Amino acid sequence: MMERWLLIGRIALRNLRRQLRRSLLTASAMVLGVGLLMFVRALEGGAHLMYVDTATRMGTGHVSMEHPDYMGSQDLADRIAARDLALLLEAVATSVPPGELVALFPQVNVGGLAQSATSSVPVRISGVDPALESGVSFFAQQVVEGRYLEPGDRLEAVVGIGVAERLRLELGSRLVLMAAGAQGDLESQLVLVTGIFRTGIPEVDRGVVHLPLPTAREWLELGGDVTSVSVILASDQRTGSVAEAVRGRLTEEGVAGDRLAVRPWWEAMPDLYAGLRADAVQTYIMLLVLLAIVALAVVNSILMAVLNRTREFGVLRALGLNRRAVGAMVLVEGVFLTLASGLVGMLLGLALSMGVFGDGVDISFIFGGELAFAGSVMEPVIQPAVLAGDVVAILTIVIAIGILATLYPAWHATRIEPAEAMKTDE
């Protein structure tokens, strides 16, 4: 029995070689289609990683911890108390695998007003710790004038370029920040502009001010409290497991739930997550349409091969091969062709992503400068990233195309009557 199937496989493969030109043309369509799918997904994956990287370094982190109600209320009443902060820092230290933790920083974030001598604008004020965030802060890299906050700063502040323009601020300008403090009273704080950043995200550039964390705590009468703690990890792949581990640890301590919420970035930034998902789905749909066209080419090619060999299949039937075996022969032929060319296409995609364009693809000629998306921003040079999930998805698509595109020709072959063998060309 085994030998019968080996024979069927052998005939199928030799038929592919016999129709070398047809096989190569069909394979080329698959190689290009799958290669393109792989490369485009790698580019998109790279872009998404960049968006996530930027967004996490803008303050949320891969894992963010806040009072459960703070995300909705943005009220200082819903903050992390100093005693919980200590537990939280310990929980993170024990939950994150060695080498995975890049930065861990507490912040105070509050909505308020920034007022200069000429005007005032609503802003989001962040009290940050320059010593802890140094090297990972996205804002520090986006300073276009002056400098970012440094350890030891007290009354210095860094503002978005939009804030600076609207309030006509320059380096050294004075600025009054106003916000409701911990006690619910309106508090004000005078700061000096020491740097201006430009992120490319209009809502950030027009509405964010950073000042040192100790100054913010003192000004808002927070003592040792903060509004959030962010964890930056070496790789986004660990985000889910780290969030889970920290949440588990804090549950053991009895502070998770009522007093602390631990969220991976996709829960903390649902808009960004939904945007990236929608973007990926859109790309997959577009590329699946492309691959459906390729699949039709495969169907056409295999069907033509079957129709051209009608008498041959008739002979096989006359010699005693049953319908199932004849169908299997065509199936092996089609699936082998699509699978082999699909795998070569995947290798092409990998070569494009990691070799030819391994240093990144500059798309600034299409979009100009930065690309803002769902509250995050991306550099114009995209580093392609081949994600394991995409490799699995594309392999699944290739196998599905192989089987689906061959089913009809295989079914057609099973319908060929053995009497076809007796027909002549005369």
Partner 1 sequence: MSDETQRPHAPAVETRALWKTFGQGETAVHAVHDVSLTIGQGEFVALCGPSGSGKTTLVNLIGGLTDPTRGEVRVDGRDVGAMSEPERAQLRLERIGFVFQAYNLLPVLTAMENAEFPLMLRGVPKDERRKAVSALFREIGLEGLEDRRPGALSGGQQQRVAVARAVLGAPALVLADEPTANLDTQASDALLGIMELLNQERRVTFIFCTHDPRVMRRARRIIRLVDGHVERDAEKESGSLPDWVLEPVGAG
Q: Which residues bind partner 1 (CB under 8 A)?
A: 1, 3-4, 7, 11, 14-15, 17-18, 311-312, 315-324, 417-419, 421-422, 424-425
CB of 11: closest distance to partner 1 in angstroms? 6
Q: Name the region of 116 (left: φ>0; alpha: ψ -120 to 50; beta: rest).
A: beta
Smaller CB distance to partner 1: residue 10 or 83? 10
CB 225 within 8 A of CB 217: yes
Structure tokens, 312: 């041959």
Smaller CB distance to partner 1: residue 185 or 426? 426
The DSSP-derived string for 240-252 is: HHHHHHHHHHHHH
- Torsion of Cα atoms, 161 then 163 then 168 then 171, to 10°: -60
Q: Name the region of 152 (left: φ>0; alpha: ψ -120 to 50; beta: rest).
A: left
CB 265 within 8 A of CB 239: yes
Smaller CB distance to partner 1: residue 185 or 425? 425
For residue 406, give the nearest of 302, 307, 322 by alpha carbon. 302
CB of 340: closest distance to partner 1 in angstroms? 18
Alpha helices in 254-309 (DSSP H): 265-268, 270-308
CB 163 within 8 A of CB 177: no
CB of 13: closest distance to partner 1 in angstroms? 9
Smaller CB distance to partner 1: residue 71 or 318? 318
Q: Name the region of 221 (left: φ>0; alpha: ψ -120 to 50; beta: rest).
A: left
CB of 341: closest distance to partner 1 in angstroms? 20
Smaller CB distance to partner 1: residue 159 or 416? 416
CB of 318: closest distance to partner 1 in angstroms? 5
Smaller CB distance to partner 1: residue 18 or 83? 18
CB of 329: closest distance to partner 1 in angstroms? 11
Structure tokens, 91: 């929980």
